């Protein structure tokens, strides 16, 4: 499979064999990544962050540097808008002259696809608008694959704000390539958009929706927790109540399977109690390392190196 010079724009563009190929490549890299430390030594990665995301940016920059490459770029400070002035198309056309690949984070949907249409170097989408964050979805799949030994056959629960969560949307589409049971757990107001369910109708994935984690906790193999944001609520009391009822504590896990894994895209606030960190369920910090490995694999692949 040839990823050389390919852009990574949307998980929806990717077929199962392509996703599996990236997972396989990451697995090869997992224990041998030090052998690849000079592979990208003459390459420069441009990281264009039109909205801030410290974690994603550091992950990509570390991935590039671990492979011997260099990084240039910028990150918009919180609340500012770099989008003023020069348009995105001109910006990427300028940056194309400096580097060999672009990592793009942008507040608007479709920005990465637009950028990729105007440059000859590969563009990696590092999060655009509310919809797409393909490398996050790939690292989530890789985490499940590594921790559970495979993806098919699992019952995977997504918990929290499923309506606005970018990670949730990308992960849902990614999982739809697998034969899994997807359990969507959210407050009624934060159910996943009907449009997404509609999109997945003809896929192999089986979806059930509920508002109660208690009802399903004993059946699930993976619990993917996301944050419920304050901004979505008009009423502070209502927010506290909803937030409290979806918080993961030791007692929440009383009936859980022994080998349940708990994931989180981070940063975590109060949605997972710290006491859970010390259980065997918690894999959210390992997820960060898997993310680094997946991004290293993606960089190697788009620069034309096959991992064998």
Q: Residue 88, interface with another protein (CB under 8 A)?
A: yes
- Selected from 5, 54, 80, 87, the binder of another protein by CB under 8 A is 87
Tokens found for residue 92:
């990427």
- Residue 65, Ramachandran bin (φ over 0: left; ψ between -120 and 50: alpha; else beta): alpha
Q: Which 42-61 residues touch another protein, going by CB under 8 A?
A: none
CB burial readout 249-265, b (16+ within 10 A) else e? eeebbeebbeebbbbbb
Mark residues 102-141: x for contact with another protein by CB under 8 A, - for none.
----xxxxxx-xx-------------xxxx----------
Cβ nearer to another protein, comparing 195 with 231: 195
Instruction: Report the residue number, 52 or 107, with the smaller CB distance to another protein.
Output: 107
Q: Which two tokens stand for residue 181?
A: 């049971």
Distances (CA, A) of 139 to 126, 262, 282, 303: 12, 14, 16, 19
Q: Closest approach of Cβ 180 to another protein, in Å?
A: 22
Residue 141: CB partners within 8 Å, gap ≥ 6? 19, 23, 151, 171, 174, 175
Sole window of 81-89, 146-154, 213-221, 286-294 interacting with another protein (rule: CB under 8 A): 81-89
Q: From residue 164 to residue 203, what is the string marking binding to another protein with x (rule CB under 8 A)?
A: -------------------------------x--------
Does residue number 12 form part of the binding site for another protein (CB under 8 A)?
yes
Closest CB 84 distance from another protein, rounded Å: 10
Residue whose CB is less far from another protein, 148 or 191: 191
Total chain residues near another protein (CB under 8 A): 19
Contact indicator for 8, 60 with CB cutoff of 8 Å: no
Residue 234 Cβ, how far from another protein at the closest point, in Å? 21
Strand partners, 262: 223, 282
Of 266, 257, 277, 288, give the one whose Cα is nearest residue 146.
288
What would the two tokens of residue 139 be? 């690292």
What is the binding site for another protein (CB under 8 A)? 10, 12, 83, 87-89, 106-111, 113-114, 128-131, 195
């Amino acid at each position: 499979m040839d990823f050389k010079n390919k852009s990574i724009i949307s998980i929806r563009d990717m077929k199962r064999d392509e996703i599996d190929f990236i997972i396989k490549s990451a697995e090869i890299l997992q224990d041998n990544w030090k052998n690849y430390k000079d592979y990208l030594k003459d390459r420069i990665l441009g990281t264009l962050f039109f909205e801030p995301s410290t974690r994603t940016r550091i992950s990509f920059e570390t991935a590039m540097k671990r492979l011997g490459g260099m990084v240039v770029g910028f990150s918009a400070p919180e609340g500012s808008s770099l989008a003023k002035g020069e348009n995105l198309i001109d910006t990427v056309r300028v940056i194309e002259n400096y580097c060999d690949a672009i990592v793009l984070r942008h507040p608007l949907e479709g920005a990465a696809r637009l950028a990729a249409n105007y440059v000859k170097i590969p563009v990696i989408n590092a999060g655009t608008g509310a919809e797409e964050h393909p490398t996050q979805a790939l690292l989530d799949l890789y985490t499940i694959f590594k921790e559970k030994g495979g993806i098919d056959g699992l019952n995977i629960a997504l918990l929290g704000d499923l309506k606005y969560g970018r990670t949730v949307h990308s992960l849902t589409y990614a999982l739809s390539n697998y034969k899994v049971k997807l359990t969507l757990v959210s407050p009624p107001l934060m159910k996943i958009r009907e449009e997404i369910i509609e999109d997945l109708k003809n896929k192999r994935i089986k979806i059930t929706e509920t508002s109660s984690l208690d009802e399903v906790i004993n059946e699930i193999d993976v619990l993917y927790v996301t944050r419920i944001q304050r901004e979505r609520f008009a009423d502070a009391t209502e927010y506290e109540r909803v937030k409290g009822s979806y918080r993961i504590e030791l007692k929440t896990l009383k009936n859980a399977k022994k080998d349940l894994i708990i994931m989180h895209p981070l940063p975590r606030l109060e949605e997972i109690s710290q006491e859970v960190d010390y259980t065997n369920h918690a894999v959210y910090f390992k997820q960060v390392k898997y993310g680094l490995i997946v991004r290293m694999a993606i960089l190697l692949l788009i620069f034309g190196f096959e991992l064998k």
